[in-house]
Amino acid sequence: MILMVSVQDLYEAKQALKGGADIVDVKNLQEALVGSAHPNTVKQIRDEVPSAHHASVTLGVVPDQIGTVSMAVYAAGCLEATSVKVGFMVSEYEVALETLRASKEALYGTSTKLIGSLFADNLIHEGGLDPDLMVKLAKESDCDGWLIDTLVKDGRNLFDFIPETRLKEMVLEGKELGMSTALSGHLKMSDLDELARVNPDIVGVRGAVCQKGDRDSRVHWESVSEFKTELDKRETGEVDVYGASNGGEAAPAKNGTDWIVIDGTGKNCAGIIAALSEQVSNDNESIVEVIIPDVLNTYDLIMWAEKNNHNILTQKKDAEGSLRMLIQP
């Protein structure tokens, strides 16, 4: 899991980066429910963010105006945003689908990724687009990834609208499709164990990393650093969110069976699962050894293997601290 911090200006972007944020997500909290920042603000931040980090753009809740939205997406591509998020609240599914398809077309020739977004609390609004359709919508519109967020400001958060088990299913399905998966929505430090069990690629926050714990105050680097530290503790297994650690036995002898190694170092969970799925699809006879540097991804791979009726033969840590898992298709 990597940390995305929502910022409104260059000062907040610098505070987020100083605190260890992996992504600064530029948005405008004063425009409607949530809207887009001015292009000059996006450009200023994009020019200042080091290439090793990401600077994304949120368009917020977009109108049912396909040309207008795709033009805004095109502008994000011209500004070299890492990604652009297009969100839907009250909208027909087919309109949202066509909007995202037009947005994808508008990004041709750029390196900007398209992220479709729905809000967990959509159904409290008449005509709200069901967030349960997020993976289907992202797949059919050829998005590079998706985000589920919230809009309510009454103290409720993501988990008040969608249970952990359902979010886990959606995230795993997104990873199997090779998409990036992101969760946000008034998340706090107290939600980290649940988040870690769901294990999205990206965790998005704002209020939790503001100076007063209030999303309308300013992002503060010390709050970002504290949140990032706790997130990393769960990723490495220092904080065991499952209550038990995975043991491991010595690997069995190969016995003449072909042995394929998939090195997940430097890959996110979606990349590891995609590589495994492709390998097993092309060759369901060879034993596959996968190297997993992130302990949380282990649980996702176990779920993937169980879902697809593959056998996990062993799990053990190597000298570098990575987990090596043997899978028999």
Q: Is the pLDDT of residue 17 over 70?
A: yes
Coil, helix or strand at residue 229: helix
The reported pLDDT for the residue numbered 212 is 64
The reported pLDDT for the residue numbered 248 is 38
Q: Is the pLDDT of residue 252 over 50?
A: no
pLDDT digits (tens, 9 = 90+) for 71-88: 999 999 999 999 999 999
Same domain, 193 and 275: no
- HSE at residue 238, side-chain half, CA atoms within 13 A, is 7
Q: How many domains does the chain have?
A: 2
Percent of the chain clearing pLDDT 70 (strictly above): 92
Q: Which of 203, 236, 269 is the last residue of a domain?
A: 236
Contact between 315 and 324 (Cβ < 8 Å): yes
Catalytic residue, candidates 27, 104, 175, 228 = 27
Same domain, 127 and 51: yes
CATH number at residue 31: 3.20.20.380
pLDDT digits (tens, 9 = 90+) for 189-222: 999 999 999 999 999 999 999 986 566 689 999 9
Same domain, 11 and 61: yes
Is 162 domain-assigned? yes
Distance CA 95, CA 88 (A): 10
Q: CA 95 from chain center: how many Å?
A: 24
The reported pLDDT for the residue numbered 245 is 42
Same domain, 310 and 207: no
The reported pLDDT for the residue numbered 214 is 62
Is 251 domain-assigned? no
Q: Is the pLDDT of residue 313 over 80?
A: no
Q: Residue 163 carries which DSSP code?
A: -
The better pLDDT of the pair 208, 289 is held by 208
The reported pLDDT for the residue numbered 215 is 61
Q: Is the pLDDT of residue 254 over 70?
A: no
Q: Residue 207 carries which DSSP code?
A: G
The reported pLDDT for the residue numbered 259 is 76
Segment 138-149 shows an average pLDDT of 97
The H or E element that residue 309 is part of is none
Same domain, 202 and 323: no
Percent of the chain clearing pLDDT 90 (strictly above): 60
β-strands 145-149, 180-183 pairing: parallel
Taking the alpha carbons at both ends of the chain, their separation in whole angstroms is 27
The parent domain of residue 311 ranges over 259-328
Same domain, 83 and 127: yes
Same domain, 205 and 269: no
Q: Which of 236, 268, 291 is the last residue of a domain?
A: 236
What pTM was estimated for this model as a whole? 0.80
Sign of the four-CA dihedral 312, 317, 322, 324: negative
Same domain, 8 and 130: yes
Burial class (CB in 10 A: 0-12, 13-18, 19+), 318: exposed
The reported pLDDT for the residue numbered 255 is 46
Q: Record the tokens describing residue 276, joined without a space.
A: 């495994």
267 catalytic, yes or no?
no
Same domain, 204 and 318: no
CATH number at residue 283: 3.30.110.40
Is 253 domain-assigned? no
Burial class (CB in 10 A: 0-12, 13-18, 19+), 42: buried
Calculate ∠ Cα 201-202-208, nearest 5°. 145
Is 232 domain-assigned? yes
Q: Record the tokens describing residue 224, joined without a space.
A: 């970002």
Same domain, 53 and 115: yes
Q: Is the pLDDT of residue 295 over 80?
A: no
Q: Is the pLDDT of residue 237 over 60?
A: yes
Is 246 domain-assigned? no
The reported pLDDT for the residue numbered 216 is 67
The reported pLDDT for the residue numbered 213 is 59
Same domain, 198 and 291: no
Contact between 269 and 231 (Cβ < 8 Å): no
Q: DSSP per residue over 49-92, as a string?
A: S-TTSEEEEEEEE--S-HHHHHHHHHHHHHTT-SEEEEEESB--
Distance CA 77, CA 109 (A): 9
Catalytic residue, candidates 14, 18, 43, 85 = 85
What's the chain's average pLDDT? Answer: 88
Coil, helix or strand at residue 102: helix
Same domain, 269 and 311: yes
The H or E element that residue 44 is part of is helix 39-48
Segment 126-149 shows an average pLDDT of 96
The reported pLDDT for the residue numbered 299 is 82
Distance CA 308, CA 302 (A): 10
Distance CA 289, CA 200 (A): 23
